[in-house]
Structure 1
């Protein structure tokens, strides 16, 4: 998706790139334009094309940039001649925004550090919280000249844990400890060493002797007993448990996939989150465990139809 760069020479020593104000389309382009100062040709500056404010590069004071527009990359002219556009950074940085990084100052610090995409994870938080994050990123782009895109990552139909007892941010599972994984919905405080599971068929599918892996193996348990909706497990590889971590279970050294294959790629909750993302104008929507191209075609058609109604 091409954008056009018009150069306006307001003085012999100043170049003001006047960028077309692009609409936030899907996917968000992260192409970069190159501008340079006339009196300091030894430095080349790469400016992102999504800035909604014109970035101004002044050649005064040795050609140092003095505008509020944020210059993403800088390379020497010799490097540009040798490598062409490969001199600019191609690898983009995607940063997940959480409770410790959602403040205005923290988001700006991430952008200054090189963040290209702010990721919001729909496994955590509610729409009000995510809406505020999106608006802070947009405001940062508008006021400071950044070009940070927003990616919304859907929860998907993977099996994962719920919140930890006492709403703790983490819990340590020690070797030999017995933990209970339950499909029950707890209205009262969650009992100690008990973790809720989002998949209703979890207790039916696992068997004593199966190995339960948390977050891809960060913590491991052996299933020792099933009691109705509860599954008793013994920790065999200690580690830190985090809320909403994904769960997989293995039998005879093989990943049990049967039930996962029956779960929809996009759940009913995901569709509500996708509606939210469309309404907020996010730049990317990420979907996990895609089973076929038809899922993507369906999602793209849905986004196009819903976007036209806005």
Structure 2
């Protein structure tokens, strides 16, 4: 291009560009979820060498035995990397809402723009027009115009009508829906306990036994939820840090920011809801306001 100066004409030597630069400390930490695809010794070594800082154990899946095997492998591998310190985190499953079983016991095709009724009768065998929901208080929790996310947000529903024991929704997109998929109600007050019996068992019989560094508390809504987890951990777990996962409304996020210093915005429940509220920006905004 006419008028452009070459590097030599600008007094820049090629070797000055190609040589290695001094390392800069990375401020962002990388959390990696361990699962069957990466929890072999070879996979763990690859993650560690690539820069993993924390290993997350997702207790929505697997059991104590499989997670313990993965954790023991991780600690064995870390013995060969004495210069690396990897933290461990138990991510609780928390309360869950699921769709019911289907009449065809396979999948149903939900068309974009179609009406889908969600019934609280969990014995109902669903089809493409009506499916069951495991949450009895669904009609009391949702509002007209509200959003319901199904199957990790792969199906987005808008509430059109609320009945005594069911909710009529409109499908915002097409999706193939299988049986017993998770459901999330962004911005709604869900009348379920944050800490379930399974969570308590996981905290006591895995978190304390294997000495994890962090607990990621799913579906935290109030400061009392954190207090309850701390009570379950007791004196044995006083050194374990708790991360409150923000998976609901902006109001809850602000309340927890005042109460608890460690927060994490859970990704999948809000990814399709992002046009209404960008949670990560709310975190940064509040931090800046408080500084």
TM-score greater than 0.5 by the shorter chain: yes
- Higher mean alpha-carbon deviation, 239-248 vs 139-148, is at 239-248
Following superposition, the deviation at residue 110 of structure 1 comes to 1.6
Check whether the contact 1:209–1:224 (CA below 8 A) recurs between aligned residues: yes
Following superposition, the deviation at residue 113 of structure 1 comes to 1.2
The reply on whether 1:142 has 2:74 as its aligned counterpart is no
Q: Which residue of 2 aligns with 1:199?
A: 135
Q: Which runs of 5+ in 1 are unaligned?
A: 1-74, 81-86, 250-254
Q: Which residue of 1 aligns with 2:288?
A: none
**Compared with structure 1, are the counterparts of its residues 180 and 279 closer, same or farther at alpha carbon in structure 2 (3 Å cutoff)?**
farther
Deviations, residues 220-240 of structure 1 (Å, cap 9, x unaligned):
124578899776654222358
Deviations, residues 111-150 of structure 1 (Å, cap 9, x unaligned):
2211111111222222222222222222221244342221
| Distance (Å, rounded) in 1 between the aligned partners of 2:66 and 2:120 | 27
Q: 1:300 aligns with which of 227, 230, 233?
A: 230
| Distance (Å, rounded) in 2 between the aligned partners of 1:191 and 1:104 | 43
| Aligned-partner SS, 1:237 | coil
Q: Which residue of 2 aligns with 1:153?
A: 91
Q: 1:288 aligns with which of 183, 193, 218?
A: 218
The alignment's TM-score, normalised by the length of structure 1, stands at 0.52
| Distance (Å, rounded) in 1 between the aligned partners of 2:85 and 2:108 | 37
The reply on whether 1:274 has 2:203 as its aligned counterpart is yes
Deviations, residues 182-228 of structure 1 (Å, cap 9, x unaligned):
66668xxx866687645343366557875423478553124578899
| Aligned-partner SS, 1:92 | coil
* Alignment map for 1:17-96 (pairs within 5 Å): 87-96=24-33
The alignment's TM-score, normalised by the length of structure 2, stands at 0.55
Following superposition, the deviation at residue 95 of structure 1 comes to 1.1
The reply on whether 1:265 has 2:194 as its aligned counterpart is yes
Q: Which residue of 2 aligns with 1:131?
A: 68
| Aligned-partner SS, 1:300 | helix
Deviations, residues 62-105 of structure 1 (Å, cap 9, x unaligned):
xxxxxxxxxxxxx96xx58xxxxxx4222110012233333332
| Distance (Å, rounded) in 2 between the aligned partners of 1:103 and 1:179 | 42
Aligned residues: 214
RMSD across aligned C-alpha pairs, in angstroms?
A: 4.2
Check whether the contact 1:219–1:237 (CA below 8 A) recurs between aligned residues: yes
| Aligned-partner SS, 1:296 | helix
Deviations, residues 147-180 of structure 1 (Å, cap 9, x unaligned):
22211111223x4436997999x99854245666
Q: Which runs of 5+ in 2 are unaligned?
A: 1-19, 239-291
Q: Find the structure with the greater CA-based Rg.
A: 1
Structure number with the higher strand fraction is 1
| Distance (Å, rounded) in 2 between the aligned partners of 1:221 and 1:209 | 9
